[in-house]
Amino acid sequence: MNAQGEDVVAGVRTPLSISALQNEMPEIYDQLFQAAKQLEKRYKDMQDIEFTVERNKLYLLQTRNGKRNAQAALKIAVDLVKEGLLSKHEALQRIEVSHLDQLLHRGIDEKSVKDVLAKGLPASPGAAVGQIVFDPDTAAEWGREGKKVILARSETTPEDIHGVLVCEGILTSRGGMTSHAAVVARGMGKPCVCGCEELRILPEEKRMVAGSRTITEGDWLTLDGATGRVIVGAVPLQEAEMTEELVQMLQWADEVRTLKVRANGDTPHDARVARQLGAEGIGLCRTEHMFFAPNRLPVVQQMIVADNPEERKQALHKLLPMQQSDFEAIFTEMDGLPVTIRLLDPPLHEFLPNLQDLQQRLAALTYEQDGSEAEKEELRSLIGKVQMLHETNPMLGQRGCRLGIVYPEIYDMQIEAIFRAASACIDRGVAVIPEIMVPLVGHVNELKILRELIDFVADQVLGEKRRDCPYKVGTMIEVPRAALTAGQIAGYAEFFSFGTNDLTQMTFGYSRDDAEGKFLTHYIDKKLLAHNPFQVLDTEGVGQLIELAASAGRTVRPALKTGICGEHGGDKDSIFFCHRIGLDYVSCSPYRIPLARIAAAQAYIELGNSPVQEQAFARIG
């Protein structure tokens, strides 16, 4: 009372709650209340109203739609539907899907943030508290002891997976939003801060440096994956929850959308979380992630360095029951829903120790005259195998289907494990729908030969049970040539899954791991590119290949199922594109499924049925 806005802003006067007006000036309060109701009804949204009272007369100065956080946006939209001011479609369009990450991951109690050490890229949302460690072996050891750890690395590699699995969050000094650490963390729902260049991480010394400050192994840190902050100490966290309003909004989205939403998941836990969050199947199960488990990696390495096919088969015989148990558990979690399993994709050297580390170990043994001659000879042999497998450009080398053709016994083992798991699940009454995906096909003959292998093993393992196991065989379209010759490839494929990460790399000629740190940020700052193409699908180039391949594939096989399973599966703009060109599904990390469900509904509301869907409905009619 007796003040103006500038008095409040300057701190000269302390404002009262709006409800205090009811006691001081009840008539004015009633007028303001009625005006607020009228404005909210007119604009069909919560209003931020500026007003003043002069000589007992109310003046409205301006009104606008009020700012809100993610949870408030959901509650306002749901309440307005219940009040009859909005339709369900209008309410769905009010939701900014990117804000849903605030609701689905743990957050930080901002009042307790006192010491921000550094800031990097917010690569995976959520918050984590733990003691810092600088190598995956220590992370795994401390994790087994029940300690909460933050894994800090200059950058992560597939070899770090055993440490990544047990840590609370990941911190890297190099790498961007689509680096290995970022992609793996988002897939697992773990907080991650990447590219924190203010930090110098010194793993050999078990410490990291930020300016004049040093953080040593065992110190407590808090990561805020939503903002990219690295905070000294253990900050209290606030748990995420599926609120009543979010559940209601997702139900409305499912009533509307035609695009299905699947999950990228490699473990039974991933499958369980995905199903709880509304996934309609697994769109990408990456079998290589199963090989990095500490109890399996030595067997995998034994298989890789084998001197002949017989030795390799002995190692694969040990891996077979391990793979079978993985698939059985995932099939059980996804009972009645499809599971797309990608056969081994990465180059074999990723499973072997680092060449430089091996050479340093041998030098140390030789210099210190420690260790037996047999141990040194074994180390020399391993170094020779690693050097032999070295490739100048491994992402374009012997990986994907090329592995299965050169070493058919590897894919044979994986296919047998899939069908053995399917057979065991069928015996237990579990409805199994496997979809076996051959990666990196660039020529129809590659898929032809591997399709024949899959069908042969299915007959051998399933026998009469084959009629109870409606499996499909398809391929990952991630090589531009595969997109251009999709009509030929569709003769042997029942589904296309577009691996947009690799397809983007190969179409642009950009290395995903190098581009962000070297030139991509500069390109975006200079507006040479509108978006990072590894985060938002390049619809003009990569999208044109996808549309071309889907159309050519359906010409040969009208019932061809199509979807995307790259990082773009959880991006709103990319989801709109997939709906527009008539893909059947998108697949994303489990924790982005609610976002994808709402984005798919928004796409239908804004764009209607795609021409491809209209044609399909006409055929059905």
Angstrom distances, CA of residue 533 to CA of 77, 479, 507, 566: 32, 16, 11, 12
Pull the structure tokens for residue 611: 């021409």
Q: pLDDT for 521-556, tens place per residue?
A: 889 989 999 999 998 999 999 999 999 999 999 999
User: In terms of residues, how long is the chain?
Assistant: 621
371: left (phi over 0), alpha (psi -120 to 50) or beta: left
**pLDDT value, residue 620:** 45
Pull the structure tokens for residue 79: 């309440």
Q: For 107-121, 206-220, 284-298, which range has the lowest pLDDT when averaged over its residues?
A: 284-298
Confidence check: pLDDT of 319 > 90: yes
Confidence check: pLDDT of 374 > 80: no
Q: Using the 8-state DSSP alphabet, how is residue 592 labeled? A: G
The answer to whether residues 37 and 46 touch, using CB atoms and an 8 Å cutoff, is no
**pLDDT value, residue 171:** 96
**pLDDT value, residue 551:** 97
**pLDDT value, residue 182:** 86
Strand order in the sheet with 229-232: 116-119, 229-232, 220-224, 127-133, 149-153, 169-172, 192-194, 121-124
Over residues 387-403, mean pLDDT: 86
Angstrom distances, CA of residue 256 to CA of 110, 329, 567: 37, 32, 24
**pLDDT value, residue 416:** 97
Most confident option among 154-158, 436-440, 522-526: 436-440
Confidence check: pLDDT of 619 > 60: no
Pull the structure tokens for residue 16: 């009262």
Rounded to the nearest integer, the mean pLDDT of the chain is: 90
Confidence check: pLDDT of 369 > 70: no
Query: When comparing pLDDT for 363 and 171, which is higher?
Result: 171
The answer to whether residues 303 and 315 touch, using CB atoms and an 8 Å cutoff, is yes
Q: Active-site positions?
A: 180, 565
